[in-house]
């Protein structure tokens, strides 16, 4: 492994990659980063849920949880995560079918300490009995969280159709039944199972380890050998791919083609054409044949399957590609979101799908299309930004398990190296009814239609053979109605396929006009480049109104900030424009109308913008409470063309066609119903709090009410009305020179032509909570999904106005208490799977306040959860202010951890652009905020900590609070002592009317609305 050639990497990747294989068989990749400001490591084990004993589903996943809870060398349960918290780090893990992956990030100076603790996971874990019992509840809570997720439910339904003798059929998450009740009933406690599983499979020869640090490769090797060399290699052999099932096939496919009708949680109408084909990856990593199929079927340009379905009013969205590719099988899925009409004409939808499949199967593989996509993939890899350390090590440790040549471990997953027509044709040939499983989800289905109940998630469904008339019609479309008895020449078969496709408006994709050609970096000024965006003055002839139409001293229509990139050396750029339009801010309905118009523009541009997206150029058009947001990102070469195309359409779209409106309204209504009725409880709590404290906030339920009464007539002519009075802020960063900025932004002229200029920007505002002893406003709400067992509680402490110093003190408090909150309320008290304590500030919302926010999602009654949060917070904050309990040495570690986080430099242009854009849309324009924060934390340590303790005593402990309790379905079964109402609130709000009344009594901090000439 160490004798391999140099690892192929992106053009600007400065990191040094050094492979190594330890004597115990562990494969290692060391990454030496001379610019390292965050160290990271990850270890993957080639074992996952597919290896669970059939009688203990979820064992691999449960073991993943247990490894975090103490080892012989470091027995304290929170030792590992507390160490990371003290040193600017974090950790996580996941269990897939065939791989379990553990990873962390930490301050570069503390990599060795983290590695020492991490390595013990794989040497001497404790699996303590008490921790085992408690963590079982965490796994059970995780499963409870997933039970109202359609993705999890449908994945398990797929496993129901798997050969029951094949390991793909397992229930991977596990719950209290599979991990406690069943093992104890069998007289085989789960702790014993954990020990056996770890001893058998957690063997060095099945592990891949990646570490990234500031050290040299030689120094990293020394650390790796010291801490991971002792991991035992027991010589276990782990089957992979088709070997996993032995002689058993993943799918028996008896009675196929199969139709599975399912009652979804969310308000969706969808079809998933799932074709079972042989496993493709990683064996075919050089050719990736399904990528060509995905490109063709999933294309959204002119002549595409999606465009044809839209034209007929049958569908709104389409995706295509492998939804799983492992364990000996690949599921190639064509997923379609239907309209109401499409739901009544599923047979016609299938006829379009199989007509396109015929076209694809009959036409020869296009070398031009393949080469164009290969060129884009090569370009994307060549100009890929350096990855974040944690995501880099995690993904690489997983990729190493695929067995690619080590020199291709970075590029191999991204690029298609070879064109193999026979492999593409072979994979495409499997797209037939004989290999089809059709999943049809609809809210119109009832329990009378879906008579079966899935065991683990309670999903109502019915599985049966595909209707014969559908089968016959679809196969006729795929084969051609005159195929039998008239073979003809290959050329005539192609011509017939093309003619059949043309009848439905189907054709192969055209050449992509947005593929970047000029990838050269622009010349940089000799005088140097400002490290922060600077305001530019554009020529008056571009964007200004005559004096008669303008306020005194103000005629410009746009304020522009710019920074030429001199850090990332990539031919990319980011451009965001915020267009402030008073008409949008006048009512909720007008805001929703503008949102519908924006989506109509996007829909009419979709065939063109899809090509841009394929070529690595993206745009977005959205609306908010103050107006419109237009964003573009990607290769700068064709960015002005996409911008001009977008603004021309915005200016021209005054009448929305029935076809466009049908698609837009279907998507808006569906998304609004999903948001209003099936959001996670903690998300609902956050929305309600925001509705109370942010002047322009609205709830998903209010949004749904407006959309349900929206008509096409209300959207007609809105474009000119919205833009009749406007002003814009813009930020451009990337591979442009200052001299080119005006030429790029000239494309905004079609939409920046108001009849009169704004005198001030539509404002934002955040409310101050009423002060006073033990003040707490409480929003008490029923969960929107009656089938969701979990409820949620958020408790927010509004400590201070959001000055730089106050925000940093809140962040420091969150740094100290975040892991402690998780350890106490989740690990020890087991309140639920989602538990967090974090600092917050309203700075990005135009200014307001800052403080701490506790979040718990739980099946327990919200009142009881609320009391426990209060009890923990009281003790935690008191301890934080106590110098004996948290002296300067202890707090100093956390301060250093926070400083480490703030010193982390952006890894890509988007990371630099995002905080700068936040400064623009918040209208603070304080681009030095990060540097000021670092300078503050680098001040006299003793003085800072003394001021911090005073802030805790004077601001955090007595802070006014707002709490939200969302009641879940399981809470009705809570014990009487749990259900006793929370008594610490000064005001209880349980309706929008209550919230509105409460808001009238609050004082508000206004955002900056001034326009500077």
Residue positions annotated with a catalytic role: 64
Instruction: From 390, 438, 43, 350, select the one nearest 203 (Cα to Cα).
Output: 43
Question: Using CA atoms, how far apart are residues 691 and 782, in angstroms rounded to an integer?
Answer: 16
Does a cis peptide bond (omega within 30 degrees of 0) precede residue 282? yes
DSSP secondary structure letter of residue 29: E
Question: Using CA atoms, how far apart are residues 337 and 320, in angstroms rounded to an integer?
Answer: 12
Question: Using CA atoms, how far apart are residues 963 and 796, in angstroms rounded to an integer?
Answer: 6
Task: Give the H/E segment covering residue 837.
Answer: strand 834-841
Question: Using CA atoms, how far apart are residues 113 and 544, in angstroms rounded to an integer?
Answer: 60
Structure tokens belonging to residue 504: 């439905």
Read off φ and ψ for residue 508, nearest 5 degrees.
-70, 155
The answer to whether the CB of 139 falls within 8 A of the CB of 175 is: yes
Instruction: From 317, 324, 322, select the one nearest 349 (Cα to Cα).
Output: 317
How many CB atoms within 10 Å of residue 418?
11
Largest CA distance in the chain: 92
* CA distances to 825, 836, 840, 957, 965 from 821, in Å: 6, 7, 16, 16, 19
Question: Using CA atoms, how far apart are residues 368 and 156, in angstroms rounded to an integer?
Answer: 40
For residue 699, give the 3-state DSSP assignment: coil
Instruction: From 576, 915, 544, 623, select the one nearest 729 (Cα to Cα).
Output: 576
Alpha helices in 433-487 (DSSP H): 468-479
The answer to whether the CB of 638 falls within 8 A of the CB of 617 is: yes
User: Residue 235 burial (CB < 10 Å; 0-12/13-18/19+)?
Assistant: exposed
For residue 22, give the 3-state DSSP assignment: coil
Structure tokens belonging to residue 553: 């001293």
Read off φ and ψ for residue 223, nearest 5 degrees.
-65, -45
Structure tokens belonging to residue 389: 């350390």
Q: How many CA atoms lie within 13 A of 379 on its CB side?
A: 21
Q: Per-residue DSSP letters for 484-495?
A: TT----HHHHHH
The answer to whether the CB of 573 falls within 8 A of the CB of 734 is: yes
Cα first-last separation, the chain: 63
Structure tokens belonging to residue 493: 């078969």
* CA distances to 305, 332, 358, 553, 740 from 507, in Å: 8, 21, 11, 56, 39
Mode of pairing for the β-strands spanning 756-757 and 725-734: parallel
For residue 245, give the 3-state DSSP assignment: helix
Structure tokens belonging to residue 330: 């690949």
Structure tokens belonging to residue 405: 């040549």
CA dihedral 841, 846, 848, 850 (to 10 degrees): 10
The answer to whether the CB of 212 falls within 8 A of the CB of 36 is: yes
Instruction: From 311, 926, 395, select the one nearest 659 (Cα to Cα).
Output: 311
Does a cis peptide bond (omega within 30 degrees of 0) precede residue 594? no
User: Residue 268 burial (CB < 10 Å; 0-12/13-18/19+)?
Assistant: middle
Mode of pairing for the β-strands spanning 207-213 and 39-45: antiparallel
The answer to whether the CB of 609 falls within 8 A of the CB of 642 is: yes
């Amino acid at each position: 492994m160490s004798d391999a050639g140099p690892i192929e990497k992106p053009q600007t990747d400065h990191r040094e990659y050094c492979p190594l294989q330890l004597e115990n068989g562990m494969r290692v990749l060391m990454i030496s980063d001379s610019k390292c400001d965050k160290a990271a490591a990850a270890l993957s084990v080639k074992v996952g849920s597919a290896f669970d004993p059939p009688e203990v589903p979820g064992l691999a996943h449960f073991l993943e949880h247990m490894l975090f809870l103490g080892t012989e060398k470091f027995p304290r349960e929170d030792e590992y995560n507390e160490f990371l918290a003290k040193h600017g780090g974090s950790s996580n893990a996941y269990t897939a079918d065939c791989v379990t992956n553990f990873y962390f990030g930490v301050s570069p100076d503390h990599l060795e300490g983290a590695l020492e603790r991490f390595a013990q996971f794989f040497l001497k874990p404790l699996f303590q009995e008490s921790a085992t019992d408690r963590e079982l509840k965490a796994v059970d809570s995780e499963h409870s969280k997933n039970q109202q997720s359609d993705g999890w439910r449908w994945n398990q339904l797929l496993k129901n159709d798997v050969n029951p003798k094949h390991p793909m059929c397992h229930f991977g998450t596990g719950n209290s039944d599979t991990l406690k009740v069943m093992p104890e009933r069998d007289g085989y406690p789960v702790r014993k199972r954990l020990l056996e599983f770890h001893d058998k499979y957690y063997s060095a020869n099945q592990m891949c380890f990646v570490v990234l640090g500031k050290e040299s490769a030689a120094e990293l090797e020394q650390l790796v050998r010291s801490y991971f060399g002792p991991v035992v290699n027991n010589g276990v052999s782990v089957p992979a791919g088709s070997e996993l099932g032995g002689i058993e096939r993943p799918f028996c496919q008896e009675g196929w083609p199969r139709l599975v009708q399912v009652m979804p949680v969310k308000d969706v109408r969808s079809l998933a054409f799932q074709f079972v084909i042989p496993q493709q990856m990683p064996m075919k990593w050089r050719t990736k044949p399904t990528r060509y199929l995905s490109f063709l079927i999933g294309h959204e340009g002119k002549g595409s399957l999606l465009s044809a379905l839209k034209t007929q009013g049958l569908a709104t969205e389409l995706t295509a590609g492998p939804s799983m590719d492992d364990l000996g099988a690949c599921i190639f899925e064509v997923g379609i979101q239907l309209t109401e009409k499409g739901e009544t004409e599923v047979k016609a939808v299938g006829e379009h799908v199989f007509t396109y499949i015929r076209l694809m199967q009959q036409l020869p593989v296009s070398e031009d299309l393949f080469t164009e996509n290969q060129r884009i993939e090569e370009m994307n890899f060549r100009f890929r930004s350096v990855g974040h350390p944690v995501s880099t090590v995690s993904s690489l440790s997983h990729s190493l398990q695929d067995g690619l040549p080590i020199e291709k471990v970075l590029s191999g997953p991204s690029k298609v190296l070879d064109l193999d027509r026979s492999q593409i044709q072979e994979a495409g040939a499997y797209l037939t009814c004989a290999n089809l499983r059709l999943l049809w989800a609809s809210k119109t289905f009832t329990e009378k239609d879906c008579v079966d109940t899935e065991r683990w998630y309670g999903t109502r469904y019915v599985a049966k053979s595909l209707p014969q008339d559908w089968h016959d019609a679809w196969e006729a479309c795929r084969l051609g109605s005159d195929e039998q008895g008239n073979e003809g020449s290959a050329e005539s078969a192609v011509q017939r396929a093309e003619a059949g496709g043309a009848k439905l408006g189907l054709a192969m994709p055209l050449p992509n006009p947005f593929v970047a050609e000029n990838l050269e970096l622009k010349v940089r000024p000799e005088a140097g480049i400002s490290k922060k965006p600077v305001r530019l003055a554009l020529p008056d002839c571009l964007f200004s109104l005559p004096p008669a139409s303008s306020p005194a001293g103000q005629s410009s229509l746009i304020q522009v900030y710019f920074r030429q990139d001199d850090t990332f050396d990539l031919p990319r750029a980011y451009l965001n424009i915020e267009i402030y339009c008073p008409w949008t801010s006048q009512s909720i309905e007008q805001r929703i109308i503008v949102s519908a118009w924006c989506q109509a523009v996007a829909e009419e541009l979709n065939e063109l913008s899809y090509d841009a997206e394929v070529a690595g150029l993206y745009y977005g058009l959205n609306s908010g409470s103050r107006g419109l947001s237009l964003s573009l990102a990607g290769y700068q070469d064709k960015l002005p063309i996409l911008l001009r195309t977008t603004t021309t359409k915005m200016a021209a779209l005054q009448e929305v066609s029935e076809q466009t409106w049908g698609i837009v309204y279907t998507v808006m209504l569906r998304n609004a119903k999903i948001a209003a009725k099936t959001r996670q409880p903690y998300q609902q709590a956050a929305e309600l709090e925001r509705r109370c404290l942010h002047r322009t906030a609205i709830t998903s339920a209010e949004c749904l009410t407006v959309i349900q009464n929206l008509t096409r007539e209300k959207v007609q002519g809105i474009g000119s009305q919205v833009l009749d009075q406007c002003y814009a802020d813009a930020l451009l960063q990337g591979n442009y020179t200052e001299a080119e900025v005006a030429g790029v932004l000239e494309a905004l002229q079609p939409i920046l032509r108001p009849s009169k200029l704004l005198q001030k920007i539509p404002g934002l505002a955040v409310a101050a909570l009423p002060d006073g002893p033990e003040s707490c406003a409480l929003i008490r709400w029923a969960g929107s999904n009656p089938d969701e067992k979990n409820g949620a509680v958020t408790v927010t402490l509004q400590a201070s106005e959001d000055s730089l110093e106050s925000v940093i003190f809140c962040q420091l408090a969150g740094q100290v208490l975040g892991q402690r909150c998780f350890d106490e309320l989740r690990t020890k008290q087991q309140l639920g799977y989602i538990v967090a304590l974090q600092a917050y500030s309203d700075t990005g919302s135009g200014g307001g306040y800052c403080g701490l926010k506790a979040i718990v999602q739980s099946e327990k009654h919200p009142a009881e959860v609320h009391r426990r949060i209060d009890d923990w917070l009281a003790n935690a904050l008191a301890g934080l202010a106590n110098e004996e309990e948290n002296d300067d040495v202890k707090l100093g570690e956390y301060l250093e951890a926070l400083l480490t986080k703030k010193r982390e430099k952006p890894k890509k242009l988007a990371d630099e652009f995002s905080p700068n854009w936040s400064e623009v849309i918040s209208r603070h324009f304080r681009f030095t905020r990060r540097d000021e924060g670092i300078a503050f934390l680098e001040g006299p340590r003793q003085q800072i900590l003394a001021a911090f303790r005073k802030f805790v005593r004077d601001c955090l402990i007595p802070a006014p609070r707002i709490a939200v309790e969302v009641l879940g379905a399981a809470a009705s079964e809570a014990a009487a002592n749990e259900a006793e109402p929370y008594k610490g609130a000064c005001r209880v709000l349980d309706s929008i009317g209550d919230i509105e009344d409460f808001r009238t009594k609050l004082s508000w901090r206004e955002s900056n609305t001034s326009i500077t000439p």
